[in-house]
Structure 1
Amino acid sequence: MQLETYISDLLYRYDCVTIPEFGAFLTQRLSAKIHESTHTFYPPKKALSFNEQLQQNDGLLANYIAEVEKIPYTTALIKVSKQVKSIKSLLAEGETIQLENIGELVLNADEKTQFSPSNSINYLTDAFGLSHFTSSDVNREIYKETVEAIEDVTPIVLTPEKRSNRNWLKYAAAAVLFLGVGGFVATAYYNNSIESHNQLAQEEANEQLDAKVQEATFVISNPLPAATLSLEKQSGNYHIVAGAFRVEANSERKVKQLRDKGFKARKIGMNRYGLHEVVYASFETREDAQRELYKVRREHNRDAWLLIKKLD
């Protein structure tokens, strides 16, 4: 059993995942930051830590394993206990435990478990797809002093141009006035002619339309064919769970709400606890389901989770 795989899945949805009789992995949200010396921009993330004091079983890990592997809860709890004993034995021998996408565990000189988190994955679904990047320095050049120095050496002097004869301006103004009045009169005449022509054409068109309506007989000789509605049947063993409900009417109401939002929601039956399960959609492959799960967590419900279940 790959215990780190189940822990990693739960860390996307929960801030605390407890391993009974061993400890708990905790997450804390950190804001985006900028490294001043390297000019590197880091996106927001969940910082991962380990607390050896939290060993009380809360049922979260064992329940998830039981659902995924389709085994009883007690059997899942026994498998977790065996894995914990193996990890403790290796740590006592001085081994370093590598948990993929989580980090490293090792015993220090005081026989305490020391944890070094991995930086290969960001468990904050809001920051999915974001990575750090480095920006170069922005150099701002100042030209003010250079301009002032040029002005001191070569001052700019504006000299108005002299005109000896301005009589031609009078004739030009008179010509412009004459052309403006003539153009206004011609435009008014043209607009009036166009308006009269359009009015006559509209009246003629209305008379023809009235005649056609009076003579028309409405017979539907070629009725439209009957509409055929094809429904896409949901299939696949990978389901994105929206919730489980004790009352069936509540599950049907949840399905309607999700379908109104564009999801291919449906009920997939009752689980081992007698709850009616509602899913956003079902998929044939784990990759497609995981891709849609990230989208649902980011845009709709951060508590949605993946269920692997073969339906009858």
Structure 2
Amino acid sequence: MQLESYISDLLYRYECVIVPEFGAFLTQRVSATINNETNTFYPPKKALSFNEQIQQNDGLLAHYIADVEKIPYEVAVKKISKRVSYIKSYLSEGETIVFKNIGDLVLNEEGKVTFEPSNHLNYLTDAFGLQQMVSPAITREVYKQEAEALEKVIPIAVTPERRKTKPNLRYAAAAVIALAASAYMGSKYYVNQIETHNQIAQENANTQLENKIQEATFVIKNPLPAVSLTVTKPVGNYHIIAGAFRVEENCDKIVSELKDLGFNARKIGVNKFGLHQVVYDSYENRSDALKALKSIRDNNNPDAWLLVKNLD
């Protein structure tokens, strides 16, 4: 039995997953962080830890295994106990137990279990699809200092040129100014005439358009028959998530591809991080949802996961 796969499934939804007679895996939400030295942005996540002191069975892990494998609860408890015995025997021999996507377990010199969490998987569903990002350093202050330094080194000065104006040139300039003023006044009058004509034409066109709209709106000679549509609304609080996408066009493309494969795929809205979520299907019964999730992981998408949420 791959015990770590069941623990991994539960860590998405719960903050504490207890392995009876062994210990508990705990999660704690960590906000997004920035490394100022490397200019790296890290998305929010769930930080994993292990507490060897918490060993009392709360039934969560056993019930989940019983639902997935369709076995009695008592049988699931025995399977967990058998797996824990193997793990403890390997640890006592100095072996390192590797739980995929969770972390490594090993005994220290004092005989206590130490845990090194894995950073390959983010169990915070709200941050699904977010990756760490490296941004180049902002150098606007450097450019400003360089510009100020250039202004000090290369001053700009304007020297006016003195000329002697001849009387004939003075009269010619006055004539040019007079002609320009006359042309300006004539062109302004012409433009005003054109604007008045255009305004009258526009008002006539608006009147004709309003008459056509009223005729089309209130005079319907051949009304079309009414059409009745029956819409089936997907129900259920158990949703198998196919992915979340920043661009809605990509989201629509995935929905179309999944429908071609026979899934009842659809969009269920945008999460708090602005990502459009796509589901394979929604279920009313938890057992049916887990069965479908297992089939999808085996045959279509190993990264699919189950979201329990009321979308009404």
Q: Which TM-score band (shorter chain)?
A: 0.5 to 0.7
Distance 1:201 1:26, change over 3 A: closer
Aligned ranges for residues 85-96 of structure 1 at < 5 Å?
85-96=85-96
Mapped to 2, the partners of 1:12 and 1:232 lie a distance apart of 27
CA distance change for structure 1 residues 166 and 157 in 2, over 3 Å: closer, same or farther? Answer: farther
Deviation at 1:185, TM superposition (A): 3.1
Alpha carbons of structure 1 residues 264 and 229: separation in structure 2 relative to 1, 3 Å: farther
- 1:145 and 2:149 are equivalent in the alignment: yes
State the shift of 1:192 in Å.
Answer: 5.0
Whichever residue aligns with residue 76 of structure 2, its letter is A
Q: CA 1:72–1:147 in 2, change beyond 3 Å: closer, same or farther?
A: same
Q: Deviations over 1:59-106 (max 9, x none)?
A: 111111111111122221121111111211222222221111111111
Contact 1:259 1:265 in 2 (8 A): no
Q: Deviations over 1:118-176 (max 9, x none)?
A: 2222222233333335556566353233442344xxxx432223451544443233223
Task: Please tell me the residue identity of whatever aligns with 2:126.
Answer: D
Aligned amino acid, residue 185 of structure 2: V
Q: How many pairs does the alignment contain?
A: 260
Q: Equivalent residue for 1:45? A: 45
SS of equivalent residue, structure 1 residue 6:
helix
Unaligned runs of 5+ in 2: 242-265, 270-277
Q: 2:83 maps to what in 1?
A: 83
Q: In the alignment, residue 17 of structure 2 is paired with which amino acid? A: V
* Contact residue 240 and residue 279 of structure 2 kept, 8 A: no
- For residues 98 and 136 of structure 1, the distance between their equivalents in structure 2, rounded to whole angstroms, comes to 36
Between 73-82 and 3-12, the greater mean CA deviation after superposition: 73-82
User: Residue 285 in 1 paired to residue 286 in 2?
Assistant: no
Deviation at 1:194, TM superposition (A): 5.6
Equivalent residues in 2 for 1:232-243, closer than 5 Å = 240=239
Which residue is 1:250 aligned to? none
TM (norm. structure 1) is: 0.64
Q: 1:166 to 1:62 in 2, by over 3 A?
A: farther
Give me the whole-angstrom Cα distance separating, in 1, the residues matched to 2:36 and 2:282: 50
Quick one: distance in 2 between partners of 1:54 and 1:230?
50
- Identify if the C-alpha distance between structure 1 residues 63 and 118 changes in structure 2 by more than 3 Å, giving closer, same or farther: same
State whether structure 2 residue 76 is matched by structure 1 residue 65. no
Superposed CA deviations along residues 164-222 of structure 1, whole A, max 9, x for unmatched, are 1544443233223322332233344445556667778899x79x98xx99xx99457xx
The alpha-carbon deviation at position 16 of structure 1 amounts to 1.1
For 1:174, the equivalent position in structure 2 comes to 178
Shift in CA distance, 104/188, structure 1 to aligned 2, threshold 3 Å: closer
Q: 1:226–1:148: structure 2 CA closer, same or farther, 3 Å change rule?
A: closer
Structure 2 Cα separation of the partners of residues 196 and 149 of structure 1: 62
Local SS of the residue matching 2:14? coil
- Tell me if the contact between 2:24 and 2:54 (Cα under 8 Å) persists in the aligned partners: yes
Q: Distance in 2 between matches of 1:199 and 1:103?
A: 76
Q: Structure 1 counterpart of 2:188, which letter?
A: F
Aligned to 1:9: 9
Find out whether 1:129 has 2:97 as its counterpart: no
**Alpha carbons 1:240, 1:289 under 8 Å: kept:** no
The 3 A distance-change label for structure 1 pair 31 and 171 is same
Task: Indicate the residue corresponding to 1:252 in structure 2.
Answer: none
Provide the secondary structure at the position in 2 that maps to 1:285: helix
Shift in CA distance, 25/201, structure 1 to aligned 2, threshold 3 Å: closer
Alpha-carbon distance between aligned partners in 2 of 1:226 and 1:157, rounded to the nearest angstrom:
79
Cα distance 1:126–1:259, how it changes in 2: closer, same or farther (>3 A)? closer
For 1:122 and 1:51, the matched residues in 2 are separated by: 20
* Native 8 Å contact 1:106 1:113 kept in 2: yes
Amino acid at match of 1:173: I
Whether the aligned pair in 1 keeps the contact of 2:30 and 2:46 (CA below 8 Å) is: yes
Q: Is the 8 A contact 2:240 2:304 kept in 1?
A: no
**Conserved? CA contact 2:240–2:281, under 8 Å:** no
1:149 maps to a residue whose letter is: V
Gaps of 5+ in 1: 243-257, 272-276, 305-312
